[in-house]
Chains A and B, each alone.
Chain A
Amino acid sequence: MGLFNWGKSKEEQQQPPAFKSELDALENRLDTFLAKMNERIDILLTGFLQEAPAIIATDDRFGQAYNRFSAAMKGQAGNMREKVQDVSENQIEPVYRQYIDTVSAGSEAYRTLYEWRNRCAEKVSIWEEQLQLRVDQATEQVEYKDYEPVFSEMMHTYYEQCKSVNCRQCGAPLHIQQVYYYTAYVTCGSCQTQNIFEPGVIARDIEHTARKLAEQRSKHFLDLSEQRRKEENEYYRQMHAIQTGLTLKELETQSGPGYQQLLVLEEKRLQAEKEAPELLDKYYRNIFDELNKLLPDLKEHHEKFFVSLQTNYQRYQSKRSTNI
């Protein structure tokens, strides 16, 4: 101990700290613990993937049984996350805090302790990311539905049902030629009586299903946008790593191989930063173009909805400042 290792020999400074074995043991326990938690994730998600299709197949139109089932799976995942966080906060961090004030900054012991803490935090962080990724993937796999045939079938059934709707006054067919999404007045072409037409459950779900289909048809733009956003982040991370290794001269003169590498990355980063929101815009525009094709009678509303949505997502778009 001591300020800047004052009074300590070089040999003393290079000695492995007394707490090294304790740190190693704790890290091993963390590895074992996370491996055991991974086994439980396997069990949880295997069960979820096996049981979900049968629940979905017999569910009501709002999917309430599946929603409860899915919430329970996510609840268990959340419980595991809390348990891992508890270990991080109450088993790892206190040991770091216990020793950090006993070693001098810059010493071998300080570095050992600091790296140990970062390594453990990184392991927990990666575990959490993997958990989230696996939960998302399982959910996406279970919830995936090809909306093309679903929508076609709905429209077909709706118009088939409409063929048998007759005027309550004269009994003539009402010849319904448009989609009524909810209860509406329909005038009889024969006797001009105003009928109250209740289009049923299928019609009430048409707009929602059309939206799902439009989103499915547009998803490739969203995936590309997300990909570009990740690339931008990765270029930024690489730039940061290079920047920390630049010499003062390279920074001052803005030259040298490191700096040149930085410029190349910055150009790529800027391109990705520009394209990500453009692709997101294409995604939403495409959704509404598809919706206009699927439900042309709602075009005016779709356009206003798009403008509202666009105003909102553009409001939260921002650009980095890298000062290169």
Chain B
Amino acid sequence: MSQNNPLFEPIHGISLYDYSSANAKLANGVPVEAICSALGVEIPVWEDASQGWVQRMQEDADFIVISEMGTFFAQADQHPKLGHLQPAAGGGNAQNLQLLATDRYFYEELNGARSAAYEAGLDGAQWIQDNYGISLGDFQQVAMQWMEQQKNEAPEEMLQYVNHMEAKRQEYARKFADENGGNIADDVDF
């Protein structure tokens, strides 16, 4: 798909795989200097290429660049130059991250919890970081893996996961509401 398509031409030598993996690492707290060093470019080159890739996505009416970016984002750890980069604070909770990547129900539970946290006025991504040691970047990387798998799922299976997520969202919404003294209309009865 990406072969012979000018939208996928590297920008200043930075390919879409480089750009996507770099963004996955940046989202995990790897500093931009470390990214540039690993790619062998200076910051102005990286930023110009970065801007160029954003523009390519905006100019792509068929969303193939952004779709491909999602696939590459999930493969950041296999990137030959960037895969090994880790934030100074460490790689987070490896056990929970492993569970997130292998247990679909756990992944859906955290999706539901994150939505409920935002609806309760909390920073949902930070809540996952604080409670499970999983950064936003790592979470999104795993999300991309599951999204790839979703493409081959039967509708009933997909519905099963959606229902699980919704049930968990409601469960966590109740928990957050209780912690905050309840919802505004809890005492209004029919």
Report if B102 contacts A (CB, 8 A). no
- Chain B residues, Cβ within 8 Å of A43: 184
User: Are B60 and A308 neighbours in the complex by a CB distance under 8 Å?
Assistant: yes
User: Are A79 and B190 neighbours in the complex by a CB distance under 8 Å?
Assistant: no
Residue in A30, A76, A183 whose beta carbon sits within 8 Å of that of B184 in the complex: A76
- Distance in Å: Cβ of B48 to nearest Cβ of chain A: 7
- Chain B residues, Cβ within 8 Å of A301: 55, 58-59
Contact mask for chain A residues 53-93; partner B; CB cutoff 8 A; 1 contact, 0 none: 00000000000100011011011101110010001000100
Report the nearest B residue to A32, measured CB to CB. B190
- Chain A residues, Cβ within 8 Å of B44: 182-185, 196-197
- CB-based closest 3 A-B pairs: A72-B121, A75-B119, A311-B61
Q: How many A residues are at the interface, by size bracket?
A: 35 or more
Q: How far apart are the CA atoms of A88 and B177 in the complex, in Å?
A: 23
Report the nearest A residue to B177, measured CB to CB. A79
Report if B153 contacts A (CB, 8 A). no
User: Are B118 and A308 neighbours in the complex by a CB distance under 8 Å?
Assistant: no
User: Are A29 and B58 neighbours in the complex by a CB distance under 8 Å?
Assistant: no
Report if B89 contacts A (CB, 8 A). no
Give B contacts to A, CB under 8 Å: 42-44, 47-48, 50-51, 55, 58-61, 118-123, 173, 177, 183-185, 188-190
- Chain B residues, Cβ within 8 Å of A33: 188-190
Residue in A87, A184, A196 whose beta carbon sits within 8 Å of that of B190 in the complex: A87
Report the nearest B residue to A26, measured CB to CB. B190
Indicate whether A72 sits within 8 Å of B59 (C-beta atoms), given known contacts A79-B183, A183-B43, A184-B44. no
- Chain A residues, Cβ within 8 Å of B183: 76, 79-80
Indicate whether A68 sits within 8 Å of B55 (C-beta atoms), given known contacts A37-B188, A80-B184, A184-B48. no
- Distance in Å: Cβ of B120 to nearest Cβ of chain A: 6
Q: How far apart are the CA atoms of A43 and B187 in the complex, in Å?
A: 14
Report if A96 contacts B (CB, 8 A). no
User: Are B59 and A308 neighbours in the complex by a CB distance under 8 Å?
Assistant: yes
User: Are B121 and A75 neighbours in the complex by a CB distance under 8 Å?
Assistant: yes
Report if A159 contacts B (CB, 8 A). no
Contact mask for chain A residues 175-193; partner B; CB cutoff 8 A; 1 contact, 0 none: 0000001111100000000
Indicate whether A182 sits within 8 Å of B59 (C-beta atoms), given known contacts A64-B123, A196-B42. no
Report the nearest A residue to B174, measured CB to CB. A79
Residue in B51, B121, B185 whose beta carbon sits within 8 Å of that of A40 in the complex: B185
User: Are B50 and A182 neighbours in the complex by a CB distance under 8 Å?
Assistant: yes
Report the nearest A residue to B59, measured CB to CB. A304
User: Are B55 and A78 neighbours in the complex by a CB distance under 8 Å?
Assistant: no
Contact mask for chain A residues 24-42; partner B; CB cutoff 8 A; 1 contact, 0 none: 0000011001001100100
Which A132-154 residues have a C-beta within 8 angstroms of B?
A: none
Report if A52 contacts B (CB, 8 A). no
User: Are B190 and A91 neighbours in the complex by a CB distance under 8 Å?
Assistant: yes
Indicate whether A71 sits within 8 Å of B185 (C-beta atoms), given known contacts A184-B47, A305-B58, A308-B59. no
Report the nearest B residue to A312, measured CB to CB. B61
- Distance in Å: Cβ of A253 to nearest Cβ of chain B: 48
Which A9-36 residues have a C-beta within 8 angstroms of B?
A: 29-30, 33, 36
- Chain B residues, Cβ within 8 Å of A87: 190
